[in-house]
């Protein structure tokens, strides 16, 4: 029996029942695939339901405000996915007459849709014979064939893409693609794979040679850097001073409190002597520390954050021309990053009664 047939037989019996597998609607499949990029199924699931309900058809998605999309996306990470989805939905309206493309060649033109996602959309919705190559597929193939070429080298990507295409069941690409990913997620897991109970125990090169734990090989990335954020909570009546982050850094277009960043952890007195602090606040400002320093780990940086309350809003120098902060009444309506919304959840008492926190 071929690899593909054994795999699909396994899938029929052990595969997961996932909501986006019951449709051939390219739009719904796209929605699920973008959400699941670098994201576990369990983590993405509630967001999938949220988005399907808010935007049942691509027209609704295209008509939404980016702010609303980001707010629905809040907490999921890699926010460029949400911004690109909005661009893609608008492109579907302008370039595809509102019909979501279901071919690889068309889908891959959409921002945020790369080789993996285009293959997923085309194979799941239209049964186009395109092999998906995601983390699961790299792992299954690397172990099955005993390939030690790094999966994140250019050479490796090419090799694995070719093998994936060779192995694909050209008659049932949709089912096959679902099957190999589920197999990677449930059976051929990164840690403690279920080799003793595996249908490929005999053919799997890694298992026969005892190399399962060594494969796949992946080149290491750079070490994380440390950043120190000092957030200021400034209230005026029931409004809180907020600002929107710009491009070229983490959390593009998301909201947060006014902030000073330093390369090192600094003392309170050094903070108050900081040029930006002097720029925005009176020298006699009283800072009240809220809680302990929070560490937020991103995949490529460690962010250490402290929060300060400034109770006297007169401390703020309001006549600056480069004013890019504004007092916001309903901060629950803003899309915020984790550092901010988890702080707000823990410090509801700091926010006035008529300002709800989500």
Partner DNA sequence: AACGCGGGGGC
Partner DNA sequence: GCCCCAGCGTT
Catalytic residues: 33
| Among the listed residues 231, 268, 222, 223, the one whose alpha carbon sits nearest the alpha carbon of residue 251 | 231
CB of 132 to DNA, least distance (A): 7
Q: Which is nearer to DNA, 4 or 179 (CB)?
A: 179
CB 339 to DNA: min, Å: 6
Q: Based on the shown chain and the rule CB under 7 A, indicate whether residue 220 belongs to the binding site for DNA.
A: yes
**Segment 67 to 86, residues that bind DNA, using CB under 7 A:** 75-80, 84
- Tell me if 296 contacts DNA by CB under 7 A: yes
| Mask for 29-58, x = binds DNA (CB under 7 A) | ---xx--xxxxxxxx---------------
Q: Is the peptide bond before 216 cis (omega within 30 degrees of 0)?
A: yes
Smallest distance from DNA to CB 157, Å: 8
DSSP letters of 316-353? B----TT---EEES-GGGS-B-HHHHHHHHHTGGGS-T
The smaller minimum CB distance to DNA, of residues 152 and 356, is found at 152
User: Residues 253 to 292: which contact DNA by CB under 7 A?
Assistant: none
DSSP H/E element including 301 = strand 301-310
Distance CA 241, CA 312 (A): 13
Q: Which is nearer to DNA, 215 or 316 (CB)?
A: 215
Does the protein bind DNA through residue 298 (CB under 7 A)?
yes
Block residue for tokens 């003793």: 196
CA atoms within 13 A on the CB side of 6: 11
Contact call for residue 181 and DNA (CB under 7 A): yes
Q: What is the Cα–Cα distance from 347 to 355, expressed in whole angstroms?
A: 12
Shorter beta-carbon distance to DNA: residue 133 or 316: 133
In which residue are the tokens 């049964």 written? 127
Closest approach, Cβ 270 to DNA, in A, equals 25
Q: Return d(Cα 247, Cα 226) in angstroms, integer.
A: 20
Q: Which of residues 89-118 bind DNA (CB under 7 A)?
A: 110-118
Residue 126 corresponds to which tokens in the numbers above?
Answer: 């239209």
Give whichever of 130 and 230 is closer to DNA, judged by the CB atom.
130
Size of interface with DNA, in residues (CB under 7 A): 67
Q: Which is nearer to DNA, 36 or 287 (CB)?
A: 36
CA distance 130 to 122: 7
210 binds DNA (CB under 7 A): no
Alpha-carbon gap, residue 62 to 94, rounded angstroms: 10
Q: Which two tokens stand for residue 209?
A: 């040679």
Instruction: Single out the residue of 196, 200, 197 nearest to residue 142, CA to CA.
Output: 200
Candidates 252, 262, 313, 347; binder of DNA (CB under 7 A) is: 252
CA neighbor of 205 nearest in space, from 190, 195, 192: 195
Q: CA Rg, the chain, in Å?
A: 25
Does 197 engage in binding with DNA (CB under 7 A)? no
**Shortest Cβ 106–DNA spacing (Å):** 13
- Judged on CB neighbours under 10 Å (0-12, 13-18, 19+), 154 is exposed
Part in contact with DNA (CB under 7 A); list of ranges 247-255, 304-312, 323-331, 344-352: 247-255
Judged by beta carbon, residue 10 or residue 116, the one nearer DNA is: 116
Cα 197 from Cα 186, distance rounded (Å): 12
Of 53-61, 214-222, 264-272, 349-357: span binding DNA (CB under 7 A): 214-222
Q: Does 7 bind DNA (CB under 7 A)?
A: no
Alpha carbon distance 227, 242 (integer Å) = 20
Give the H/E segment covering residue 270.
Answer: helix 268-273
Q: Which residues of this protein are in contact with DNA, per CB under 7 A?
A: 16, 18, 20-21, 32-33, 36-43, 75-80, 84, 110-118, 120, 134-136, 138-139, 153-155, 178, 181-182, 184-185, 190-192, 216, 218-222, 248-252, 296-301, 337-339
């Amino acid at each position: 029996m071929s690899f593909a047939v054994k795999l699909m037989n396994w899938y029929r019996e052990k595969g997961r029942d996932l909501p986006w597998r019951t449709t051939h609607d390219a739009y719904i499949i796209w929605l699920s695939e973008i959400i699941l990029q670098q994201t576990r199924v369990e983590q993405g699931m509630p967001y999938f339901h949220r988005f399907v309900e808010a935007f049942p058809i691509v027209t609704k998605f295209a008509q939404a405000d980016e702010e609303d999309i980001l707010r629905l996306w809040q907490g999921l990470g890699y926010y460029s996915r949400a911004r690109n989805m909005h661009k893609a939905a608008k492109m579907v309206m302008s370039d595809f007459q509102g019909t979501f493309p279901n071919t690889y060649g068309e889908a891959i033109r959409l921002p945020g849709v790369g080789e993996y996602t285009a293959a997923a959309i085309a194979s799941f919705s239209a049964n186009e014979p395109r092999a998906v190559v995601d983390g699961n597929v790299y792992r299954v193939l690397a172990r099955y064939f005993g390939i030690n070429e790094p999966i994140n080298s250019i050479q490796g990507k090419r090799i694995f893409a070719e093998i994936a295409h060779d192995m694909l069941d050209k008659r049932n690409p949709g089912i096959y693609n679902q099957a190999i990913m589920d197999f990677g997620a449930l059976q051929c897991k990164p840690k403690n794979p279920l080799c003793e109970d595996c249908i490929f125990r005999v053919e799997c090169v890694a298992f026969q040679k005892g190399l399962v734990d060594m494969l796949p090989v992946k080149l290491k990335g750079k070490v994380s850097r440390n950043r120190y954020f000092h957030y200021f909570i400034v209230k005026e009546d029931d409004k809180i001073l907020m600002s929107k982050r710009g491009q070229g850094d983490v959390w593009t277009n998301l909201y947060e409190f006014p902030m000073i960043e330093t390369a090192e952890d600094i003392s309170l007195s050094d903070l108050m002597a900081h040029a930006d602090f002097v720029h925005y606040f009176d020298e006699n400002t009283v800072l009240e520390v809220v809680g302990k320093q929070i560490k937020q780990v991103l995949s490529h940086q460690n962010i250490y954050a402290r929060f300060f309350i400034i109770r006297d809003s007169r401390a703020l120098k309001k006549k600056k021309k480069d004013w890019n902060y504004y007092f916001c009444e309903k901060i629950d309506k803003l899309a915020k990053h984790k550092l901010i919304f988890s702080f707000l959840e823990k410090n509801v008492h700091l926010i006035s009664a008529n300002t709800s926190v989500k």
